[in-house]
Structure formats: C-alpha cells, structure tokens
A and B are shown apart, each in its own frame.
Chain A
Amino acid sequence: MRRDPEGPGGGGPHPPRLRPPAHRVSPRAVAHWAIEYLLLWGLAFGLAWGVAVWIEEAHWHGLPEWLDRHLWLLPALVGAAGVLTVAVAPVWRYRVHRWEVEADVVYTRTGWFSREWLLVPVGRIQTVDTKQGWIERLLGLATIEVNTASHAGSSEVSGLPARVATRLAEDLAHRAHDLRDDAT
C-alpha cells in the first residue's frame, strides 16, 4: 500500500474533500426543532424568572449589592438566549442535516453550531431503530437511529418523513443482516 497524500500540499492540486450527503431532511423538521427549542427555553426562562423572584423576596443579607441590583439580568439573559436559539437554530440545523446511503455506507451530517459527519459501513451496523416523539407524531416525522458496537459510531438523524424513515430502517436492517461480519 502506497502512502497517500497526507500533510498540507502533499497530494494533487485538489486534496479530496467530503461532499455533503445527497438528501435533506423534511422541511417540517424546522417546525419540530422550533417547537422543541421553544418548550425547552420556555421552561428555562420560567425557572430563571422564578429563581430571580425568589432571591428578591428572600432579602438575603449575604448577597453582594451588585448582584442584588442586577437580579433582573438572569431571566433577561436566559430569555434573550432562548429567543436567539429558537430563531436561528432550527433553520441552521435544517441547512446542515443531510443523509445518504451509497455503496453500503451510511453517511450523515448533523449538528448546527458544530457539525458532525459520520460514516458507518452497513456491515458494521448492529441495530437500526426508528422512534417518534409526540411532536414528531403530530408532524409526521421520525428519527432514525443507527447503532454500532461503539457509541462513537452510532448516529441519529431526526426530521425524516415517517415513511422514508421506516423504509430506510428496514432496508438498512436487511442489508446489515446480509453483510454483517464480526461487527465489533
């Protein structure tokens, strides 16, 4: 086996790069993520509000004066972060999330702020699960979970249309069964 072009400038003029996977997830996934973030950040905002009010009512003497005067900052900051996340993250995630199965390799790209590319050959897959939370059920979406012997090699693609997810899971499970070597 020859040494391949490693190191900067080692190969040809265009060192090979990963292209994005072919398929996007369903656009309804944006709604799904938005609802999820809204619920989560709403809860966090409520908690922060509660804590701020509670501290104010308690009139603790040990509290630094600066903190006492700026207590409203806590719910305000949480709220601002929440609004920003709900506005930005779902669309951003939709632009990043992609998947593809080609030549018996599952290739996914997930994340938003940080991205993750995952390449798992079908032969090393141990189980394929699909799952649907209640929001996903309302929107007709499903999450597909590909598990290998290693948690680092296990991935999850959410926001697939339920029909596509079911078919994909069945296909993968069949192929994995046919190709399966010692999957560890």
Chain B
Amino acid sequence: MIAREDVPPAPPPRPAAVPRPQRLHPLTFVVGAVREMVALVGAGATGLLVGGLSTAFYFTLAGLVFGLAFHAATWATFTYTLHDDRIELRRALVGRSVKTIPRERIRGVDVSASLGHRLLGLAVVQIDAGADGGEGTLNAVSRQEAARLRRVLLSRDAAAAGPPGATALRPPRRTLARMRRRWYVYAPLSGAYLLTPFALAGSLLSALYNLGDDLGLVTEDRLTRLGHDVIGLPAAAVLATAAAVLLLMPVMSVIVFTLFNWDFTVYARDGSVIAERGLVTRRSVSLERRRIRGVEFADNPFERLARVVRVNALVTGLGDAAHRGRLLPAAPWGTAQDLTARVLGPVPAPLLPHPRAARGRRVARATAPPAALGALSLAAGQPLVAAGCAVLACCAVPIGLDRYRQLGHARDALRLTSRSGSLRRRQVVVDNRAIVGWRLRQTLFQRRLGLATLIAAVGAGDGGYPILDLAEDDAVALATGITPAWLEPFLDHPPSPPRKAA
C-alpha cells in the first residue's frame, strides 16, 4: 500500500524524470483522529451521562466531526516531493507553505512508529538537517515507503531514488550489536530508570487530580478525610507499603527500560549506522557514518561494579543528541568496545594516568563546596549545619580520590581518548581529524601545580572535550603530537628532529 496520488499534469520543470508530489498514507488520518476521538467520545459520553442530550453533547459531536474533517483536509493538502537535490514538503490547508530541505544537508532520518502506527503498518519519518536546514516530519507513510525514504535520503546517490517499493535494490544489512536478554537486568543500576516509576506515578496522580478537580469530585472535605485516613493507618501498613515500593522500584525500572530499549539493535547499512529500539513505539535512528566523529562511554559506580557501560555517538549537528545518539544502553564493557571498534575504530589504550599534583586538586575541588558552606554557617553561629557540612566534606574525600583515579588519556595516530568523573564517569573517544582547535586552560592554582587542562574543540557532541589536569608540558606535547602543524610555529624549543604532520 503505497500512497502515491498522481496529480494531473504537474508543470514539468525539467524534462528528465519529473518527481511527482506524493501524499502521506491514507490511513494516517485514522491514527490522528482515533486519538482525538477517544478523548471526544469520552467527553461526549460524560456529557450524555450528566446532561442527557444537551447542548454540550451536540457541541462534542460537532467537535468530533470537525476534527475528522480537519484530519482529512490536512491529509489531502499535504504533499511531499522528492527531487534529485532536495525534498519539498508542501502544506496548503490554511496558508500555503513549502519547506525545502536540501538533500546534502540531511544528517539523519529517524523512523518511529507508535502502537497505532504499527497496527496499521505505518511509520513516522523525521528528517533532520542540522541547524541550517531545519527539520521535517512525514506523519505518516507506509513502512516500506519509510524504509525507502530513509535509504534514498541518506545515500547521496540520486540514482538510488528508484520507484517506491523497489526493495530489491536494498543494500545488505550488517548487524553490529544486538541486545541480549540478560542486559535488561542492568536497568536498576542506572539511577534514571530507577526513578522513572515515580515520575510516572506523579504525572498519573496529577492527571487524576486535575480530572477529578474538573469534574468537581475533589473537595476540601474529601482531601482532609483522605489525609486523616493516611495518618490513621497503622505503622505496619505504612512500613509494608514502603517496602513494597522499594521492592517494586527495580522491577518497574526493568519494565520501563524494556519499553524503551526492547531488542536494541545496531546495524550498518549503506554508509549509515542505524540503531533500532523500543517495544511499543519502535524507534530507529540513522546516523551517517561520516558524521560520527567519536563515541562516548558513560557509567556510574554501580554500573562500573557490574562492568557495564552506556555508549553514545558524537555526531556533527545532531539535535537531541542525548537520546538520538544512543548506540547501546547499559551493556557489558566488551560488547561496547567491540561496537566502538566497528563504528569508529579501536579505542586507544592503555590510559595514561595524570600527575600526582592532580590528586590534591581533585580532592580539594570535591570538598571545597561543603567545606565553604560549613565555614560560613559556623561563622553565622549554626554549629549543627556546620557539622552536617563537615560530614559531607569527609564523604567528598573518597569521591575526589576516585575522580583522580579515573583521570586518564591516551592517543594513537587516529584517535584521542580522555576519561574523567566518578559518580558520572565519561570516557570520550574522538577522531583526530574531527578536532577543529585546541584550548589550553590554566587557573592560578593549576599554574602553581604545573598543571593545565587541554580542551579538544570538536564540532560534534558537547563541542569540546577536556583532558583535565595534565602536566603543562604533556598538554603541549599531546596537542603537538596530534596536530604538529598547528603548534610547531609557536613552540619555544622545537624538538631537534622536526616531525611532520600525520
């Protein structure tokens, strides 16, 4: 079922193979309408129950009809045209608007499908063209068309723009990594998934409260009674509830994690790396391989104990990179290394430790905030607060020590890697060619210790990746080793055999 409305003789701009405007899939409006219909039918039923065949009911009915008409009209007036050099999204419902996205600017094509879309065999295509190209959404097309669009838009070769549904040309797909069953158990290790149940419960409760408030079910009287009931509960019941919540948290986190990351698969096809995941909403993100400039490993102390790590890609001009750049959820270290080797190349190893002077600095920086707060509160005559701060400062010492232990960097002829952080440890691996400049930073304190922080400026991800507290000379030597031509003119004592650029 390919949506392909043949619009009568379009004015031919070029003689060769005139691209024809195409419509979205006809079933699209069903998905949109169903969502509103559910809400409206609910409201209509309530209206019917409360007031019988009143004005409210007719209003709801009119709203329903209008909504359906709106969806149908939106579908009928939206077309997209795939040209050799651009894709045009044309909207003509109220105002007329044409959005043109140059194909060379397209950096990623995401295909996602909610439950409704999947039941109908549809998918939403999202085209990302970086900051200067904008974004376009096709909501929705058939699944084959989505796959074709992605293939055509991401391969720069205009010849690949075959007729829709020409799946025979599909280039081979090579799986790079695939989630194993037992990885779902790693979910509770990451704090975010552990807390999602609370977020869900919170939003559910507030939605219930608002709904009840709107319907006049929530009164002050009832709230007070509820409060009294809760206070009146025996301690054992409260304890049991707390224990149940504590027990449920990991279980819930595994469930939520599974919803988002079910069958996480990374595969390569035609110059792109594609990550697919999700149980209900299946999401697939394509990252153009030549725009992947590096990789980031992130973990926390619990994940370190279990030897698992999360992997993100550093991609040039990728919006919402935290979610869309994800290459692996919590996965064993070996698999992560393996995947990185296939996507980017081997990670330089072993990591070189940083000078001893950096240790004192890490500890000082970890303990300084609570210590300063403690000193302030002592001066203000609050010994209790000061004592609390002192305890916090003591707890910060091992964190500072661990931060020093985790510091490290390494490089080879092609890549640079740097690691830092403790509670949230990150190790980035950056392609040497992706570095657009060097920034060397030295505070007065670092200067006294002979340390400096070298920041590799990269036009992807965070924009710059620091290598904290290197020895001053090592920092210069490291930068010189990677890009000799940039530093050589400014060196005081060039090394005797002048090295040439890599």
Contact with A along B472-490 (1 / 0, CB 8 A): 1110111111010111111
Question: For the complex, is A174 an interface residue (Cβ under 8 Å from B)?
Answer: no
Asked whether B457 lies within 8 Å of A150 as measured between CB atoms, the reply is yes
Who on chain A is nearest to B410 by CB? A6
Asked whether B481 lies within 8 Å of A4 as measured between CB atoms, the reply is yes
Q: How far is the CB of A41 from chain B (nearest CB, A)?
A: 20
The count of residues in chain A whose C-beta lies closer than 8 Å to any C-beta of chain B is 45
Q: Hey, which chain A residues are within 8 Å of B494, CB to CB?
A: 16
Please measure, in the bound complex, the distance between the C-alpha atom of A5 and the C-alpha atom of B495, giving whole angstroms.
Answer: 9
Give residues 88-138 of A contacting B (CB, 8 Å).
Answer: 100, 102-103, 105, 107, 113-121, 124
Asked whether A148 lies within 8 Å of B440 as measured between CB atoms, the reply is no
Asked whether A19 lies within 8 Å of B464 as measured between CB atoms, the reply is no
Q: How far is the CB of A111 from chain B (nearest CB, A)?
A: 8
Asked whether B440 lies within 8 Å of A18 as measured between CB atoms, the reply is yes
Asked whether B443 lies within 8 Å of A113 as measured between CB atoms, the reply is yes
- Selected contact of A67 from candidates B380, B439, B499, CB within 8 Å: B380
Give residues 58-93 of A contacting B (CB, 8 Å).
Answer: 64, 66-67
Q: Hey, which chain B residues are within 8 Å of A66, CB to CB?
A: 380-381
- Which label, helix, strand, loop or mixed, suits the secondary structure of the B interface? mixed
Question: For the complex, is B424 an interface residue (Cβ under 8 Å from A)?
Answer: no
Please measure, in the bound complex, the distance between the C-alpha atom of A151 and the C-alpha atom of B496, giving whole angstroms.
Answer: 35
- Selected contact of B477 from candidates A6, A114, A154, A184, CB within 8 Å: A6
Question: For the complex, is B371 an interface residue (Cβ under 8 Å from A)?
Answer: no
Asked whether A121 lies within 8 Å of B437 as measured between CB atoms, the reply is yes
Please measure, in the bound complex, the distance between the C-alpha atom of A133 and the C-alpha atom of B142, giving whole angstroms.
Answer: 55
Q: Hey, which chain A residues are within 8 Å of B436, CB to CB?
A: 120-121, 124, 148-150, 153, 183-184
- Most A CB contacts (10 A, CB to CB) among B439, B464, B494, B495 go to B439
Q: Hey, which chain A residues are within 8 Å of B502, CB to CB?
A: 1
Asked whether B437 lies within 8 Å of A11 as measured between CB atoms, the reply is no
Asked whether A14 lies within 8 Å of B439 as measured between CB atoms, the reply is no
Who on chain B is nearest to A184 by CB? B459
Q: How far is the CB of A73 from chain B (nearest CB, A)?
A: 10
Asked whether A18 lies within 8 Å of B441 as measured between CB atoms, the reply is no
Question: For the complex, is B413 an interface residue (Cβ under 8 Å from A)?
Answer: yes
Who on chain A is nearest to B462 by CB? A152
Q: How far is the CB of A155 from chain B (nearest CB, A)?
A: 8
- Selected contact of A105 from candidates B442, B443, B472, B489, CB within 8 Å: B489
Please measure, in the bound complex, the distance between the C-alpha atom of A14 and the C-alpha atom of B489, giving whole angstroms.
Answer: 16
Give residues 1-31 of A contacting B (CB, 8 Å).
Answer: 1-2, 4-8, 10-12, 14-19, 21
Question: For the complex, is B28 an interface residue (Cβ under 8 Å from A)?
Answer: no
Given the known inter-chain contacts A18-B491, A115-B442, please indicate yes or no for A103 contacting B485, CB distance below 8 A: yes
- Most A CB contacts (10 A, CB to CB) among B355, B460, B474, B502 go to B474
Asked whether A16 lies within 8 Å of B444 as measured between CB atoms, the reply is no
Please measure, in the bound complex, the distance between the C-alpha atom of A7 and the C-alpha atom of B411, giving whole angstroms.
Answer: 13
Question: For the complex, is B199 an interface residue (Cβ under 8 Å from A)?
Answer: no
Please measure, in the bound complex, the distance between the C-alpha atom of A132 and the C-alpha atom of B444, giving whole angstroms.
Answer: 30
Who on chain B is nearest to A100 by CB? B490
Q: Hey, which chain A residues are within 8 Å of B123, CB to CB?
A: none
Please measure, in the bound complex, the distance between the C-alpha atom of A107 and the C-alpha atom of B437, giving whole angstroms.
Answer: 10
Question: For the complex, is B267 an interface residue (Cβ under 8 Å from A)?
Answer: no
The count of residues in chain B whose C-beta lies closer than 8 Å to any C-beta of chain A is 55
Q: Hey, which chain B residues are within 8 Å of A7, CB to CB?
A: 352, 474
Asked whether A152 lies within 8 Å of B492 as measured between CB atoms, the reply is no
Asked whether A5 lies within 8 Å of B477 as measured between CB atoms, the reply is yes
Q: Hey, which chain A residues are within 8 Å of B413, CB to CB?
A: 1
Q: Hey, which chain A residues are within 8 Å of B481, CB to CB?
A: 4, 6
Contact with A along B106-137 (1 / 0, CB 8 A): 00000000000000000000000000000000
Contact with A along B447-466 (1 / 0, CB 8 A): 10000000111111011100
Please measure, in the bound complex, the distance between the C-alpha atom of A4 and the C-alpha atom of B479, giving whole angstroms.
Answer: 11
Contact with B along A129-168 (1 / 0, CB 8 A): 0000000000000000000111111110000000000000
Q: Hey, which chain A residues are within 8 Å of B486, CB to CB?
A: 105, 119, 121
Q: How far is the CB of B162 from chain A (nearest CB, A)?
A: 29
Asked whether A149 lies within 8 Å of B477 as measured between CB atoms, the reply is no
Please measure, in the bound complex, the distance between the C-alpha atom of A56 and the C-alpha atom of B481, giving whole angstroms.
Answer: 61
Please measure, in the bound complex, the distance between the C-alpha atom of A105 and the C-alpha atom of B483, giving whole angstroms.
Answer: 11
Q: Hey, which chain A residues are within 8 Å of B477, CB to CB?
A: 4-6, 10-11, 15-16
Q: Hey, which chain A residues are within 8 Å of B478, CB to CB?
A: 6
Asked whether A153 lies within 8 Å of B441 as measured between CB atoms, the reply is no
Question: For the complex, is B177 an interface residue (Cβ under 8 Å from A)?
Answer: no
Question: For the complex, is B286 an interface residue (Cβ under 8 Å from A)?
Answer: no
Given the known inter-chain contacts A16-B491, A19-B492, please indicate yes or no for A64 contacting B437, CB distance below 8 A: no
Given the known inter-chain contacts A16-B492, A103-B489, A148-B457, please indicate yes or no for A124 contacting B437, CB distance below 8 A: yes
Question: For the complex, is B278 an interface residue (Cβ under 8 Å from A)?
Answer: no
Q: Hey, which chain A residues are within 8 Å of B440, CB to CB?
A: 18, 116-119
Please measure, in the bound complex, the distance between the C-alpha atom of A149 and the C-alpha atom of B460, giving whole angstroms.
Answer: 8
Asked whether B473 lies within 8 Å of A151 as measured between CB atoms, the reply is no
Q: How far is the CB of A104 from chain B (nearest CB, A)?
A: 9
Asked whether A114 lies within 8 Å of B495 as measured between CB atoms, the reply is no
The 6 closest A-B pairs by CB, nearest first: A152-B464, A153-B457, A149-B459, A153-B437, A114-B443, A120-B437
List, sorted by A's number, 16 A–B pairs whose CB atoms are closer than 8 Å: A6-B478, A15-B473, A16-B491, A16-B493, A16-B494, A18-B491, A100-B490, A105-B490, A107-B489, A114-B446, A116-B439, A116-B440, A117-B438, A150-B460, A153-B439, A184-B460
- The interface of chain B, by Cβ under 8 A from chain A, is 293, 316-317, 352, 355, 380-382, 413, 434, 436-444, 446-447, 455-460, 462-464, 471-474, 476-481, 483, 485-496, 499, 502
Given contacts A18-B490, A153-B436, A153-B464, 15 further A-B contacts (CB under 8 A): A6-B352, A6-B478, A6-B481, A16-B492, A17-B472, A19-B490, A67-B380, A115-B442, A119-B440, A121-B483, A150-B463, A151-B464, A153-B459, A155-B439, A184-B434
- The interface of chain A, by Cβ under 8 A from chain B, is 1-2, 4-8, 10-12, 14-19, 21, 64, 66-67, 100, 102-103, 105, 107, 113-121, 124, 148-155, 183-184
